[in-house]
């Protein structure tokens, strides 16, 4: 079936006419996949040329538009006249016209829980930097490095008086790199741009942890949300993240005679499959076993209200440190290293992919040792 491709105009502001192609019957839009009759060319003509420059503009623009019309006509009705190379070039050009911003949002929407929120935040910064939209064809190292600089100097969305934290910039820029990597795999960009872009350097952050005395104080202190207390102490005894504790089901717990209790699960953050031994004391926190598909920590949710109850529980136990739920994981790592467990084992228990991620805890231990050393002073 022959598709008619006509060049048409539409009145726009400034006494101009926008040029577009009219297809009959409709063709499939390369970006949305929906039937369309129009393709706007991003070209315009002056209605009444006022000088020789306007006349020249109109003449050259008509020639360009007619060339595009002819190319589309050949592409749709005479595909045999194109070489394989030309066909591939046309495909790549069509891909380049697609929206990178929409693609990024599509990947963000596929994420779940807190990771989804992080992706959405990154999306808002990217959308603002790109002034609403960005084509794949416009992606290059200059744009990516410009976005990196933007994140490092941009005001926080939570407070216009503060700039975005270094580690938030790290996280958001990594989302861009992950999207570039996926776009290359999907054939939407022709170069592995992600590999050419250096990440934002991670800032060292203070990792607060609890002493064994403080943990025991919490054991003896009531919490307004019992499941929160149960989960926090379980994290301190296992090193599990909140996300992994929240989704834990009874079917993932296993007892092996002569070896003890284990958890078989997939990490929410890294997606790594873990077989993790846990202590009898950690298992005893869980109460009576239920159906395999039921959650172990039923009713545990992450919210501002939950965080406020955590804070009140800590204060009630006499703890004045700035402690979040994640600090119970830090506590596990720090206490394990303090009690002589080698760093390689701790790294595996935490599910870290790289040993350097665990080494930050070794620095905490070194500082603790230094503080303890300085407590002994003689009078001379």
Q: Where are the domains of the chain?
A: 4-81, 100-196, 212-373
Neighbour-count burial of 159, counting CB atoms closer than 10 A to its CB (0-12 exposed, 13-18 middle, 19+ buried): exposed
| 182-232 residue pLDDT tens | 988 888 888 889 999 999 887 655 678 888 999 999 999 999 999 999 999
For residue 65, the tally of other CB atoms under 10 A from its CB is 20
52, 126, 163, 211, 332 from 328: Cα distances, Å: 75, 33, 28, 10, 6
Looking at residue 93, what is its pLDDT? Answer: 66
Q: What is the token pair recorded at 91? A: 């495909």
**Residue partners of 116: CB distance under 8 A and separation at least 6:** 108, 109
| Block residue for tokens 């589309």 | 72
Describe the strand order of the beta sheet including 35-46 as a list of residue ranges: 4-12, 16-28, 35-46
Q: Does domain 212-373 have CATH number 3.90.245.10?
A: no
Query: What pLDDT tens digit does each residue of the chain (380 aa) get?
Result: 788 999 999 999 888 999 999 999 998 877 777 889 999 998 999 998 888 888 988 999 999 899 889 888 887 887 655 555 555 555 666 677 888 999 999 999 888 765 788 899 999 999 999 988 888 888 899 999 999 999 998 887 666 657 888 888 999 999 999 999 998 888 888 888 999 999 988 765 567 888 899 999 999 999 999 999 999 999 999 888 898 899 899 999 988 888 889 888 666 555 556 678 888 999 999 989 999 999 999 999 888 899 999 999 999 999 998 888 988 988 888 888 888 888 778 777 777 766 666 666 666 666 665 555 555 556 65
> How far, in Å, CA of 56 to CA of 166, rounded?
51
What's this model's pTM, rounded to 2 decimal places? 0.49
| 286-333 residue pLDDT tens | 989 999 999 999 999 888 899 999 999 999 999 998 888 988 988 888
Asked whether the beta carbons of 73 and 67 are under 8 A apart, the reply is no
Q: What is the token pair recorded at 93? A: 């050009």
Measure the CA dihedral 311/313/318/320, to 10°. Answer: -10
> What stretches of the chain adopt beta strand conformation (E)?
4-12, 16-28, 35-46, 253-256, 260-266, 273-278
> How far, in Å, CA of 297 to CA of 293, rounded?
12
Q: What is the token pair recorded at 46? A: 């002056």
Q: What is the token pair recorded at 138? A: 């416009």
* Nearest alpha-carbon partner for 261 in 244, 281, 278, 282: 278
Looking at residue 82, what is its pLDDT? Answer: 56
> How far, in Å, CA of 183 to CA of 200, rounded?
20
């Amino acid at each position: 079936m022959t598709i008619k491709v006509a060049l048409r105009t539409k009145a726009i502001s400034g006494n101009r006419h926008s040029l577009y192609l009219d297809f009959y019957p409709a063709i499939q839009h390369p970006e949305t996949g929906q039937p369309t009759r129009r393709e706007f060319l991003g070209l315009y003509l002056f209605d009444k040329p006022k000088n020789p420059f306007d006349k020249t503009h109109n003449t050259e623009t008509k020639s360009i538009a007619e060339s595009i019309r002819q190319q589309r006509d050949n592409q749709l009705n005479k595909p045999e006249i194109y070489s394989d190379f030309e066909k591939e070039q046309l495909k790549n050009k069509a891909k380049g016209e697609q929206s990178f911003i929409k693609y990024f949002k599509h990947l963000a929407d596929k994420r779940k829980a807190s990771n989804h929120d992080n992706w959405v935040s990154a999306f808002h910064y990217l959308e603002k930097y790109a002034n609403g939209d960005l084509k794949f064809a416009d992606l290059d190292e200059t744009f990516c490095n410009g976005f990196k600089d933007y994140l490092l100097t941009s005001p926080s969305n939570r407070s216009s008086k503060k700039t975005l934290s270094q580690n938030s910039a790290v996280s958001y820029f990594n989302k861009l790199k992950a999207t570039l990597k996926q776009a290359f795999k999907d054939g939407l960009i022709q170069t592995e741009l992600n590999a050419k872009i250096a990440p934002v350097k991670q800032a060292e952050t203070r990792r607060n942890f609890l002493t064994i005395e403080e943990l025991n104080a919490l054991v003896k202190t009531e919490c307004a949300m019992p499941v929160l207390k149960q989960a926090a102490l379980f994290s301190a005894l296992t090193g599990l993240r909140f996300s992994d504790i929240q989704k834990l089901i009874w079917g993932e717990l296993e007892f092996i005679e002569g070896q003890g209790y284990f958890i078989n699960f997939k990490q929410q953050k890294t997606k790594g499959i873990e077989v993790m031994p846990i202590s009898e004391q950690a298992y005893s926190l869980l109460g009576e076993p239920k159906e395999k598909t039921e959650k172990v920590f039923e009713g545990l949710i992450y919210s501002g209200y939950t965080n406020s109850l955590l804070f009140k529980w800590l204060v009630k136990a006499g703890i004045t440190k700035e402690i979040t739920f994640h600090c119970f994981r830090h506590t596990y790592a720090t206490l394990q290293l303090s009690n002589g467990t080698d760093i390689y084992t701790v790294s595996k228990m935490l599910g870290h992919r790289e040993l350097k991620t665990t080494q930050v805890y070794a620095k905490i231990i070194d500082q603790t040792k230094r503080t303890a050393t300085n407590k002994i002073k003689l009078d001379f």
